[in-house]
Amino acid sequence: MEKPKAVLFDAYGTLFDVYSVGLLAEQLFPGHGDALGVLWRDKQIEYTHLVTASNDGAHYQPFWELTRAALRYACKRLALDLTPGHEERLMNQYNHLSAFPENKEVLAALKAKRVTTGILSNGDPEMLAVAVRSAGLEGLLDHVLSVDAVRKYKTHPDVYALGTQATGLDARQIAFVSCNSWDALAATWYGYRTLWVNRYQLPFEELGTQPTRTGSSLRDVLAFF
């Protein structure tokens, strides 16, 4: 099969570790850091699906606002006293998530092969700009694509269409990389060639479709080449 001409990466969970907020959460709420990190993330994704499915995105809110709402819900669910100061510290931490260590190496290897690279993410443009800058990835990405352009979230097909529109390529000419199994599945349904990065040794979705490839780190995208 022809080698992909572009590689698009999910951001949150794939390039940036969404669970790294658990370290600060544990400092603020001893004994509850991991639980808060997991519930916060789960509720954040649930909210993106909810606002997209309701009236075809009529209830869209920016990812930053959904992230804040999910944090508030998670703290209430866990009976944690989220003060305004704690909220701002945790939100600021989310804006500066830890990057996975292989990011630069993999992106540099793709650029050396003259492959178009980019991000296709639920994140707001401002959030993505901060994350990319903090990780030192500015010169390694040709595109940083946000769902804000269509005011819908993954897994809506209008989101995945942003990649084909930006690159001018057919979906089968693009490899899409995500650590989130639901994202890898929907991108496969859309027509992308996909890599599911299974960092946490989880089962894939049981809906009859498998990703093109499965790996354990971003380095596995290089197997396409």
**Catalytic residue list:** 10
Sign of the torsion formed by the C-alpha atoms of 176, 216, 141 and 111: negative
Give helix then strand counts, H and E, for the chain: 8, 6
- CA–CA separation, 123 vs 170, rounded Å? 24
In contact, 121 and 143? CB cutoff 8 Å: no
Distance CA 133, CA 136 (A): 5
Neighbour tally for 198: CB within 10 Å: 18
Distance CA 174, CA 4 (A): 5
Rounded CA-CA distance 175/113 in Å is: 14
Please check whether residue 44 is in contact with residue 62, taking contact to mean a CB–CB distance below 8 angstroms.
no
